Amino acid sequence: MYDPTTAPFFSDELFRWISGAGVSSDDKPQGWDKKISYNKKEFTQLWDCVTQIRERLQSEPRDEAVTAVELEKAAYVIRRWCAAGGDPRKKNDAKSTGGKRSREDDRTESQVDKPRRKSARSK
């Protein structure tokens, strides 16, 4: 990437997140399946929103500036959290593991709803 500090990578998660994806008022994930055209208009929207978010966060007292890459990473985490049934609006979500990772955290989005098969060892 040319400038990961200011230039956002056009990821699905980042675009959908800045376009309002998240959790609806009835606690269901929304907006994460929005169709993306990957055109100049959408990239301009992404660029403008990332720039506004970075400027707003830089106005707060902190040691370092927030980079476009950090926003993309945050969007990725929020998307995965919503796919797993979490709600980023709640500080102490029932799905929270207290910072501990589980094997469930490593599954992809398509695997979240699939039951796990028992291994030969567990028989």
- Does residue 1 lie in a domain region? no
pTM for the whole thing?
A: 0.61
* Separation CA 29–CA 8 (nearest Å): 24
The number of folded domains in the chain is 1
pLDDT in tens, 49-101: 999 999 988 887 777 888 999 999 999 998 888 878 776 666 655 454 444 44
Identify the sign of the CA torsion 34, 16, 23, 96: positive
- Does residue 115 lie in a domain region? yes
Write down the number of H helices and E strands in the chain. 4, 2
- Does residue 56 lie in a domain region? yes
- Does residue 5 lie in a domain region? no
pLDDT greater than 60 at residue 105: no
- Does residue 103 lie in a domain region? yes
- Does residue 91 lie in a domain region? yes
3-state secondary structure of 117: coil
Domain that holds residue 109: 12-122
* Separation CA 5–CA 58 (nearest Å): 13
- Does residue 112 lie in a domain region? yes
* Separation CA 25–CA 40 (nearest Å): 31
